[in-house]
Amino acid sequence: MREQPRSDTGRDPKLVTALIVHPGRAEGAALRAVLDVGEQIRVVARTEDGGTATTLTQRLRPAVILLDDRIATPDYRELVRTLARQSRVIIMTAATECTTITALLRDPVRGCLVYGQFEAADLREAVRAVAAGLGWLSPVAVAAASWQLRGRRRPVATALTGTDTIGLR
């Protein structure tokens, strides 16, 4: 029987390592439970603190970091930049406003997941895709990015009805 190829570090090259940075213990544990299903993703650590996230990233070198935008830190944007220099970052947010999401996307992130806009399978697929060098956006984040790219023009449906057809203003 042929042995499975391994990377120089002795790790399975198909295994994606992840770090969860989330201020809520229960929510962070739930994210870990979703990701630890199967053999493709392994959560190497979970923290509720930005400083600890930086230390863990330097020590563990996770392929992907899931970073909640509510994490307490003196300078959130600097935290994102620091983490992104060493790993691929997926921002997780409850925000649905175009301006908030586009501000998050200006940082060096590879993905943006909006709570309530993704299923467990989407979370796992986002982590695998981002680890492979691709990006991943929740549908509302795609809408926000296109809104920004179109020069913040409101869709015709919005101008006619006064509401945005996808729930964004």
26-41: per-residue pLDDT in tens? 999 999 999 999 889 9
Tell me the C-alpha distance between 71 and 50, whole Å. Answer: 7
Task: Report pLDDT for 13.
Answer: 63
Its pTM stands at 0.81
Task: Report pLDDT for 24.
Answer: 96
From the list 48, 103, 120, the residue with the least C-alpha distance to 19 is 48
User: DSSP code of 110?
Assistant: S
Task: Report pLDDT for 134.
Answer: 97
Domain boundaries, the chain: 16-161
65-120: per-residue pLDDT in tens? 999 999 989 899 999 999 999 999 999 999 999 999 999 999 999 999 999 999 99
What's the alpha-carbon Rg for the chain, to the nearest Å? 17
Backbone angles phi, psi at 143, to 5 degrees: -60, -40
Tell me the C-alpha distance between 133 and 166, whole Å. Answer: 29
Give the CATH superfamily of 16-161. Response regulator (3.40.50.2300)
